[in-house]
Amino acid sequence: MVKFLRPAAAALAAVLVIWAAVAFLARDERPAPPLGGAMGNFTVAGAGSPAPQTTLGAKDGTTTTLAAFRGRVVLVNFWATWCAPCIKELPSLARLQAQLGGTGFTVLALSEDLKGWPVIAPFLAEHGIAALPVLHDPQGAASRALKATGLPTSVLLDRDGRELGRLVGPAEWDGPDALALLHHYLAKAD
């Protein structure tokens, strides 16, 4: 019986050594995202699934999907003109877009207003929100698909359109805590 135990023990030891080597090589040595301060309620996603391909409407009547934003990190913000916390948050999103927006990052404001552009456009003009990319989410299809449970909800997508994490409720998106979080994910995406 001892003759059979030695080869079995050696095989088991070899398997454990190989497993430990693979686990060591596969580990992610990047630091966890900074979730302190104002980003304390940001929830990091597990293995994110691709963003939904629901149709989103632009002011000029054209349509698009979230797939059009692939290749960049996107902060999708669900909001409405009647949502007081959303109204308070929008200027910080516009400042964030002005500061970081470009080919690698975009803030995308998705309006959940059922009446569409006849209420969205005057609201944006009245509040001086011109440089922020805004689309309409007809009947809330994108918010349902991304499981946005309230307004405002912001969902951060990676360059492949997969969810990195989310924040339910308003935030100062151009504040130091939010910028640290976003820079973490932008560096990770490079």
Q: What is the pLDDT of residues 178-189, one digit of tens each?
A: 999 999 999 976
Q: What is the pLDDT of residues 53-89, one digit of tens each?
A: 899 999 999 999 999 999 999 999 999 999 999 999 9
CATH assignment, 34-189: 3.40.30.10
**Residue 84: DSSP 8-state:** H
pLDDT at 16: 43
| 127 close to 90: Cβ distance less than 8 angstroms | yes
Delimit the domains of the chain by residue range: 34-189
Whether pLDDT at 24 is above 50:
no
Query: In three state form, how does the secondary structure of 90-130 look?
Result: HHHHHHHHHHHCCCCEEEEEEECCCCCHHHHHHHHHHCCCC
